[in-house]
Each structure stands twice: as C-alpha cells, then as structure tokens.
C-alpha cells in the first residue's frame, strides 16, 4: 500500500517526456503558445482556487461530498507515488503513437480537483501525445469554473446551455475532438507516471480495443493517494465491465459503435451499456496494469438528478437491459423489481444499431465473456429477493460463517439476491444458507456451498410461501432477527415464516 506524503521541495519537478527532452520541450511550448494562453506552470492556482474556498464554519463535504478543504490545500502538481509494478517502470514505450484528445466532463466540480486533473494530464504525458484537453462544462452554476481553465495551454472549454448529463456531454466533447484517439476522464482524477503510453499502444495495435487504466484510490477525506493492488497478467487483462469514467478508444470506432445512448439521463448505467455493446458487437475491453490513474471515490453524488437518482439510474439501466440483454432482462427485473415501472423511452434506434452491427446475443456474452456471473438457469427453482412484507433476506454484508438477517427491501439485488437451486440450496453467490444445529432456535449461517450437505437443503412448501429445511422439517424464521440473526423454528402459520421469492421459475 502506498500513502502520499507531500514533499515541500517538490513544487515544480522537471518533466521528462518519452523523448527525454525536458528543456527543449519547454522552450518549444513557450514559443508556440497562442495569444492569451499560459503554460500550466504559470497558471495562477491561488487566485482560481481561492475564489471558492470553504469558509470557516461551513461543512467541507457539503458541495462535493468529499473534503474540499483538504483538496484545496494541495498544489496543482503535487507529487504522488509511482504505483506501477517494477516491470512497468523499466519498460520503454513506443514514441510513434497517435495523439489523443482528452475529454473531461464536469458539473459543479471543486476547482482544486478539476485543476489537478488537467495539470496531471499535461504534467504526466509526453506533450506530443496530448492534442488537446476538452473540458465540457455541463451547466455548472459558475461558468468561470471552466472558463478560467481555458487559459491553460491545450485546454478548450465547451459549456452546455442547459444540464445534459454525462453521456450527452461526453458525446459533445468527442464530436469536437480533433485527435484520432479519445481519452475520457472524470473531473477528480490524477494521472500517474507514463499512464498514457500503454493505453495508446494497445489501441494502436487494434482499434476495436477499449482500454482502461488500473484505478488507484484518492481518499475522499484526506486526499492521500493509495495504489490499488493488481496482478500483471501478460501486460493486460480482459474485463467484462469497465468502471465507466476512465477509458481510451479509437475515435472512428467510438462513432461506428454508436457513441453513447443519447437518451440516457445524467449519470448511471452507461458503463453497463457500453460494456455490453463493445463485447457483443465485436470489440473487447481491457484493463492495462502499467497504466495508473487515481480517482476520488465518493459515497454519494454531490449533484441533483431530475426525478431522483434512483429513477434516473433505473431508467438508464432498463434501456441497457431492453436493448442488449434479450430474455435475460427478466432476471434483471427479478433482481430490481422497481425498474419495471420506470418508463425508458424509445429504443428503436439502438435496436437498429444492434442489428446493423450484427451484434451477438447476450447469451454469447454470458458464456464467453462473463461465465462467472451468477445467472439463474432454467433449472433454478426461484430467484431474486426473498421477501417478507417490506423486508428482505439480507447477508448484512457478511461472508462465510456470518449470520443473515432481514433488512428493508431495496430492490437493487446485491446482498438481497438469492437463488433456490434444483439441488435445493438457497444460494447467494457461492454461499449457502446452512442450518448449524437441527434444533428449533438454531441459527442460520452463510457457508460455502457443498453438493451433498444435508444442512444446506431447503424446499418451498404451502404454495411457495415458506422455506422448510429438509433435514429437520423446521422452517426459516425471522422472529429472532433483531437478536442476532435468522433461525429455524417449528413450522407454523406465523408471519415470521412467510417468505416469497421475486421470481418463481418453476410454478
């Protein structure tokens, strides 16, 4: 694990790009700067950030849902640890790569975080590989957040005249881009040493690759930069999903593949949609371990969603499910029943795109790209949430040997997603509900599923309204949930024994 400690002497370290000409590069950039532009080193950070600093007594988390006071303290070009593997640090990268346009969209971003993102791109990239940085201001309250950064070399600012959301803003930036390769970044990132070359190299070899860095963590409370762990698997590894915010792809391929779904709103679901689309339509997603970019992960969104974040996310993911998941969308609805009632708009143009690109079915994606995903098959008996009134059976975040409980149903899968299999297991991922002791009042534990373990065998009885443990003839019961977990009790008409799966596949 790496922790950042600021070196007060390292305010403006020299940059050596891949050609090793730190002095010459600097001289060139001074000579060729257009009127009104400044090198990033000469940008007035104090004036820009100082105008929006948190006042004494104000909550530092209120505006951005991260600690803005800590972010504002940092220099725009602070040192961060080089978190790459030793092999990456020794590697020589190609110098004949195409330049990229970096597209960064933002809405009311903290100025210090946005500035560090821009500066890290310019500082940590060979200058000949950065054609431009396009900032798309998605109608922030203060237009100067973006406009003032337009003074920095290579930065162009586009401002939406109304709130458009992430997908439409990214497409606007991509449409304006002049380079052959697009790089999408979030507005609270910091690029690490030689982050760009390994990404551009993979795309140069095959334009149907969509590539992402390993995403390091910038702590939202103290802004320490912490390296994420990573296995080097031959220089890259395939991934069924991208995180969404940070990736590089060929511009012509981005256009050919249908850009983004422009009818998705604000944020959410776009990473699922683009991941399904890339794989099913002939491309691939890769994570490149030699590329590292830090990202501030927050626990909640700082911005508003028209109609509420849950509705927007459900609408977007429902569009992705309807277009790409074929009959498997029924399992999505089983796991997220609330999505059924959310209108998702017209998907005809996306269906036509899928047909035009001769994309493969979702079954192919599950079998070839994501075989480890737990999808119910036709032999499962029931699937989804296991509901009791407004509460649902929940792992409570526990793992092997942990107890289970009930928690208010959130209709979002996760800890509340279960399957009753044909071999009579009640499964959550690779854990099964296990009766520790076959006496009434015995606690239920989560344990690794074992094929012929009689402590893990269950059946539905009384019109699928109860779950009875086969070995003891006792029923799953929630009466002691508040005192330490679920138990098995003598079967009775009690409401604490009423359980209903979202989806019974064998009626």
pLDDT digits (tens, 9 = 90+) for 270-291: 888 999 999 999 999 999 999 9
pLDDT digits (tens, 9 = 90+) for 180-208: 999 999 999 999 999 999 999 999 999 99
Q: Which residue has the higher pLDDT, 79 or 4?
A: 79
d(CA 414, CA 198): 34
pLDDT value at 72 more than 90: yes
Please report whether residue 500 resides in a domain: yes
pLDDT value at 309 more than 60: no
Looking up residue 252, the CATH number of its domain turns out to be: 3.90.550.10
pLDDT digits (tens, 9 = 90+) for 105-142: 999 999 999 999 999 999 999 999 999 999 999 999 99
Looking up residue 459, the CATH number of its domain turns out to be: 2.80.10.50
> Is residue 260 domain-shared with residue 401, that is, in the same domain?
no
Helices 309-324 and 270-280, interaxial angle, to 10°? 10
Concatenated DSSP letters of 310-345: HHHHHHHHHHHHHHH-GGGHHHHHHH-GGGGGS---
Please report whether residue 169 resides in a domain: yes
> Is residue 78 domain-shared with residue 206, that is, in the same domain?
yes
Kindly state the tokens that stand for 323.
Answer: 């277009």
> Is residue 286 domain-shared with residue 402, that is, in the same domain?
no
pLDDT value at 303 more than 80: no
Confidence of residue 25 (pLDDT cuts 50, 70, 90): very low
Task: Taking residues 360-374, report their average pLDDT.
Answer: 86
Question: Given this model, what pLDDT does residue 129 score?
Answer: 98
Last residue of a domain, one of 279, 296, 313: 296
Q: Which residue has the higher pLDDT, 503 or 459?
A: 459
> Is residue 137 domain-shared with residue 250, that is, in the same domain?
yes
Q: Which residues contact 442 (CB under 8 A, 6 or more apart)?
A: 435, 436, 474, 487, 488
Kindly state the tokens that stand for 474.
Answer: 């006792």
Q: What is the pTM of this model?
A: 0.74
**Residue 500, number of CB atoms within 10 A of its CB:** 19
Structural domain containing residue 446 = 380-504
Last residue of a domain, one of 296, 315, 349: 296
Number of domains in the chain: 2
Long-range contacts (CB closer than 8 Å, 24 or more residues apart) made by 159-165:
160/136, 163/107, 163/138, 163/139, 163/266, 163/306, 164/138, 164/139, 165/138, 165/264, 165/265, 165/266, 165/267
Please report whether residue 481 resides in a domain: yes
pLDDT digits (tens, 9 = 90+) for 142-178: 999 999 999 999 999 999 999 998 889 999 999 999 9
> Is residue 291 domain-shared with residue 399, that is, in the same domain?
no
pLDDT digits (tens, 9 = 90+) for 328-357: 888 788 767 778 888 899 999 999 999 999
Judge residue 242's burial from the number of C-beta atoms within 10 Å of its C-beta, 0-12 exposed, 13-18 middle, 19 or more buried. Answer: buried
Last residue of a domain, one of 266, 296, 326: 296
pLDDT value at 371 more than 60: yes
Helices 309-324 and 348-356, interaxial angle, to 10°? 40
The answer to whether 203 and 295 have CB atoms below 8 angstroms apart is no
> Is residue 404 domain-shared with residue 267, that is, in the same domain?
no
The answer to whether 384 and 474 have CB atoms below 8 angstroms apart is no
Please report whether residue 480 resides in a domain: yes
Please report whether residue 325 resides in a domain: no
Alpha-carbon torsion 200, 206, 208, 211, what sign? Answer: negative
Please report whether residue 20 resides in a domain: no
Please report whether residue 404 resides in a domain: yes
d(CA 385, CA 163): 35
pLDDT value at 443 more than 80: yes
29-43, 82-96, 446-460: which has the minimum mean pLDDT? Answer: 29-43
> Is residue 91 domain-shared with residue 223, that is, in the same domain?
yes
Question: Given this model, what pLDDT does residue 207 score?
Answer: 97
DSSP summary character for residue 58: S
Task: Taking residues 86-90, report their average pLDDT.
Answer: 93
Please report whether residue 441 resides in a domain: yes
> Is residue 167 domain-shared with residue 59, that is, in the same domain?
yes
> Is residue 202 domain-shared with residue 85, that is, in the same domain?
yes
pLDDT digits (tens, 9 = 90+) for 383-401: 888 999 989 999 888 888 8
Question: Given this model, what pLDDT does residue 165 score?
Answer: 87
Q: Which residue has the higher pLDDT, 325 or 370?
A: 325
* Percent of the chain topping pLDDT 70: 86
pLDDT value at 30 more than 50: no
> What is the rounded average pLDDT for all residues in the chain?
87
């Amino acid at each position: 694990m790496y922790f950042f400690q600021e070196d007060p002497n390292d305010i403006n370290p020299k940059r050596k790009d891949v050609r090793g000409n730190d002095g010459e590069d600097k001289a060139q950039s001074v000579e060729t700067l257009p009127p009104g532009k400044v090198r990033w080193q000469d940008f007035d950070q104090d004036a820009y950030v100082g105008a929006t600093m948190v006042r004494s007594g104000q909550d530092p988390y209120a505006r951005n849902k991260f600690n803005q006071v800590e972010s504002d303290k940092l220099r725009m070009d602070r040192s961060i640890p080089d978190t790459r593997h030793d092999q990456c640090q020794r590697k020589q990268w190609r110098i004949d790569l195409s330049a990229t346009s970096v597209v960064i969209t933002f809405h009311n971003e903290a100025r210090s975080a946005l500035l560090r993102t821009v500066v890290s791109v310019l500082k940590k990239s060979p200058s000949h590989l950065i054609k431009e940085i396009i900032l798309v201001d998605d109608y922030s309250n203060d237009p100067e957040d973006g406009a003032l950064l337009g003074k920095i070399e290579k930065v162009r600012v586009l401002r939406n005249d109304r709130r458009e959301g992430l997908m439409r803003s990214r497409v606007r930036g991509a449409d304006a881009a002049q380079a052959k390769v697009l790089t999408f970044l979030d507005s609270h990132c910091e690029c690490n040493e030689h982050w760009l070359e390994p990404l551009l190299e993979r795309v140069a070899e095959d334009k149907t690759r969509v590539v992402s860095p390993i995403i390091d963590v910038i702590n939202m409370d103290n802004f320490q930069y912490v390296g994420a762990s990573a296995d080097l698997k031959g220089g890259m590894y395939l991934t069924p999903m991208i995180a969404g915010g940070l990736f590089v792809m060929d511009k012509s391929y981005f256009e050919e593949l249908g850009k983004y779904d422009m009818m998705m709103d604000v944020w959410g679901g776009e990473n699922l949609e683009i991941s399904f689309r890339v794989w099913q339509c002939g491309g691939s997603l890769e994570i490149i371990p030699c590329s590292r970019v830090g990202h501030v992960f927050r626990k909640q969104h700082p911005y508003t969603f028209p109609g509420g974040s849950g509705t927007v996310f459900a609408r977007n993911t429902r569009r992705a499910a309807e277009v790409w998941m074929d009959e498997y969308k029924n399992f999505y609805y089983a796991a997220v029943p609330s999505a059924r009632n959310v209108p998702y708009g017209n998907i005809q143009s996306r269906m036509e795109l899928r047909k035009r690109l001769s994309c493969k079915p979702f079954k192919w994606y599950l079998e070839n790209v994501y075989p480890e995903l737990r999808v119910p098959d036709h032999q499962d008996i029931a699937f989804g949430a296991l509901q009791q009134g407004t509460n649902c059976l929940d792992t409570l975040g526990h793992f092997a040997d942990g107890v289970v409980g009930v928690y208010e149903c959130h209709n979002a899968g996760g800890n509340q997603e279960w399957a009753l299999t044909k071999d009579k297991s009640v499964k959550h991922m690779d854990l099964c509900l296990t009766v520790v002791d076959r006496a009434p009042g015995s606690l239920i534990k989560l344990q690794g599923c074992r094929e012929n373990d009689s402590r893990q065998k269950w059946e539905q009885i009384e019109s699928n309204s109860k779950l009875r443990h086969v070995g003891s003839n006792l029923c799953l019961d929630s009466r002691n949930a508040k005192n330490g977990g679920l138990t098995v009790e003598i079967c009775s008409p009690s409401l604490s024994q009423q359980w209903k799966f979202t989806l019974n596949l064998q009626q």
